[in-house]
Structure 1
Amino acid sequence: MMEVWTVDLCFTTPFHTTGTSLGSFIRVARGRDRSGSETPYIPATHLKGVMRCEAERIMRSTSGISCFITGDPVSEDHEIVLCDEVKAGGTGCPVCSLFGFPNTEGGGGFREGKLRFLDFYPSGNQKEIGVLTRSHVMINRDYQVKQEHALYSEEAVPSGTVFTGNIIVRDGLTEEEERVFLASLHAMADYGLGKNRSRGFGALYFGNIKKSDRIPGLEGS
């Protein structure tokens, strides 16, 4: 049976996920909400990617899985590593059953997981989001010094902003799948979201988490 988890992400520091760049000015990602208004948002792909990385990390430390579907950080080219079960067309652990399988050689082609992520938008009870602009000096990574004539500016969503969105559970979860799902959800909050986390950006906590059998606001569809 399908479940919809509606989640509030409450940011305690500014948040930035990169959108378009206009010269040395970097905008936050924007999308159109249900009213058609353009507003900052958190792409579903970013949420899914962070949660999958955290789920892999958790399963590697607790169950010793061999997969690195998000890329082996030790290898030079971040090689994707698949377990034998996935190569044979099966499911090796809850990570792949929840988040799906990439279309990689030996992986049996793309297969969807039980979770589907939707984009997160500012909560409806908030007024227009006042985006901040901050200026930075670009750092030369080789020498760890500032680069001359390399000033740039970027937008950020202010702290205190709440984003709300839905995670659809397409099919019933096993006990182990639900444990991994919840663990990766909370690990995502501990890890943070967006760019510039080393500068303190993207810290958050959960507000309301509600479960239902349909997406709120689409009851008539």
Structure 2
Amino acid sequence: MSVVHILQADLELTGPAAIAAPETTAVGSVLRPDLPLSRDGWDHPYIPATSLAGSLRQQAPPERRRELFGDIAGEPAPSADGMVPDAGGAIASPVRLLGTRLTLPEADLMQRRRTAIDRHRAAAKATTLHHRELLPPGTELAFWIRLDTEATESPLVDEVISLLAAWRPRIGGGRTTGHGRAELITVRHRVIDLTTADGLRHWLTCGGPGLVDDHASVVYERAQRAGGAPDEPYLFGRPLEFRIADSLHVGSGTFGERTGRQTGVAQILRDHENTPLVPGSTWKGVLRARVEFILRSVGIGPVCASTQDDTAGSCGACVVCDSFGWAARTGATATGGELPTAAGARGRLVFADSPIRDGSIKVRNHVAIDRVFGGARDEALWAEETVEDGYLTLHLRHDKPVPDLMRAALVLALADLADGMIGVGGSTTRGHGTLTAQPASAEWLTTERTTALHTLRAHRAAAPVPAPTREEAGA
């Protein structure tokens, strides 16, 4: 190969993202997050090229993935005479990702704390609180691709450039809760012809990012600076608008300074612009729990309870696990005492973070009551931040087709949310977390509720009647 093509692609994160490296946390450490960012040898945040290669391979048409990105475990390819070779089948990728470089904005790294909710107690589940680092939106990521050809113009190079132009990057974990979203900014192409003196001189005297110099041509540039990348389609064809009816507290797991005898103020979760928000993980957890309750209540199942204890857990087979995703049960909770063959699966639904607009932040003081004397307990004054009178938008999207049954159950769950039957965030049983739908969204929910009920009745009527148990038959 006498011609080297170097492509430099620049991405910008439009949401928080991370490639976690839990193996870097020392056992028993409480000073670093449970899921710290992957870092290079100089302790700088780092996104490995392997993550981008996997995303690009997924973007390519299935029939071209092997030829573009290689294969290590596929079926052996037929030879020219139509005979299948005896050994091999593995081929190297002609598309080589050389490396990545992150440029962080002025904002600090983001910190997120999350916990699971026990379905039986409706409270935080023990030993599930975890803390992770995230790259803030606005972080820029550059990476380089090398292609070797025999000519300065090649169909392979054109195909890779077209693949990049249509690419919708999603980096790292947490994609169904709004993490990892990115946009392609530019793609620059530098041709280095090693048969010429100038090309050979450039190849030998420059290295790394310096290979893409002022002689590179811009082959792709996004139309606008923000919001130009396509998003997954809305599940219901529209976002849903809500207003905080009382107050809302989604905690960040951090506390403000202590004053006097008062403990630190429990702070609300904020984004990189210091705006209060409801994270996508909260929407996902609240709606999943309600959908499970609705489907079990009307007798459509089996539907798991998505708790990981000795009696219930993510089954990986029901319609809820298929739509929301699932994680494998282990140990005694595995079916039949055997470990599952898969570690889990990503769901079809995508929940984005919801910044709260026009809300006022208040500090509410609380005190525990002494059960013997009936007065305030000494040293038990505490406080928390809440958001009141704000507005927020639920962006519920999907990247795969969602069954009609799940769509109907989600409509009913959202209607229950708008009616105040369930809440968002903490302390929903004492005046927090009640939302009301804005007029347009309330009208849509009222209209769709009838259709959703009809869908559930149809599925219930078509479901097979379970055989009676031995006790029922004897009765």
Contact 1:117 1:167 in 2 (8 A): yes
- Say whether residues 1:168 and 2:397 are aligned partners: yes
Q: In structure 1, which of residues 167, 173, 188 is the aligned counterpart of residue 417 of structure 2?
A: 188
Amino acid at match of 1:155: E
With structure 1 as the length reference, what TM-score do the two structures score? 0.74
Amino acid at match of 1:81: G
Please give the per-residue CA displacement for 1:48-87, whole angstroms capped at 9, x wherever unaligned: 111111111111111253522135xxxxx6754344xx3x
Contact 2:303 2:320 in 1 (8 A): no
- Say whether residues 1:132 and 2:362 are aligned partners: yes
The alpha-carbon distance between structure 1 residues 188 and 78, as it changes in their structure 2 partners (threshold 3 A), is farther
Aligned to 1:56: 292
Alignment of 1:81-120 (within 5 A): 81-83=313-315, 86=316, 91-92=317-318, 94-105=319-330, 106=334, 107=340, 108-120=342-354
Alignment of 1:1-221 (within 5 A): 2-4=232-234, 5-19=238-252, 20-22=254-256, 23=258, 24=263, 25-32=265-272, 37-62=273-298, 63-65=300-302, 67-70=304-307, 79-83=311-315, 86=316, 91-92=317-318, 94-105=319-330, 106=334, 107=340, 108-123=342-357, 126=358, 129-138=359-368, 147-158=377-388, 160-189=389-418, 190-207=421-438, 208-209=440-441
Aligned length: 188
Amino acid at match of 2:414: L
Distance 2:414 2:292 in 1: 12
The alpha-carbon distance between structure 1 residues 10 and 61, as it changes in their structure 2 partners (threshold 3 A), is same
Task: State the Cα distance separating 1:174 from its structure 2 match.
Answer: 2.4
Q: Larger C-alpha radius of gyration, 1 or 2?
A: 2
Task: State the Cα distance separating 1:7 from its structure 2 match.
Answer: 2.1
Distance 1:30 1:2 in 2: 24
Distance 1:161 1:40 in 2: 10
The alpha-carbon distance between structure 1 residues 145 and 65, as it changes in their structure 2 partners (threshold 3 A), is farther
Task: State the Cα distance separating 1:138 from its structure 2 match.
Answer: 3.1
Distance 1:26 1:169 in 2: 34
Please give the per-residue CA displacement for 1:104-135, whole angstroms capped at 9, x wherever unaligned: 33453121111011111124xx4xx4311111
Distance 1:41 1:2 in 2: 21
Amino acid at match of 1:120: S
Contact 2:326 2:344 in 1 (8 A): yes
Q: Which structure 2 segments of 5+ residues have no match?
A: 1-230, 335-339, 445-475
Higher strand share: 1
**Structure showing greater relative contact order (alpha-carbon pairs closer than 8 Å, 6 or more residues apart):** 1
Task: State the Cα distance separating 1:197 from its structure 2 match.
Answer: 1.6
Q: Which structure 1 segments of 5+ residues have no match?
A: 72-76, 211-221
Distance 1:66 1:169 in 2: 21
Task: State the Cα distance separating 1:2 from its structure 2 match.
Answer: 4.4
Contact 1:31 1:40 in 2 (8 A): yes
Q: CA-atom RMSD, angstroms?
A: 2.8
Contact 2:249 2:385 in 1 (8 A): yes
The alpha-carbon distance between structure 1 residues 199 and 206, as it changes in their structure 2 partners (threshold 3 A), is same
Amino acid at match of 1:206: A
Task: State the Cα distance separating 1:140 from its structure 2 match.
Answer: 7.3
Contact 1:66 1:82 in 2 (8 A): no
Deviates more, 1:39-48 or 1:106-115: 106-115
Helix, strand or coil at the partner of 1:3: coil
Distance 2:305 2:279 in 1: 22
Please give the per-residue CA displacement for 1:124-171, whole angstroms capped at 9, x wherever unaligned: xx4xx4311111003579xx985321101111101x210124111112
Distance 1:145 1:70 in 2: 38
Helix, strand or coil at the partner of 2:382: strand
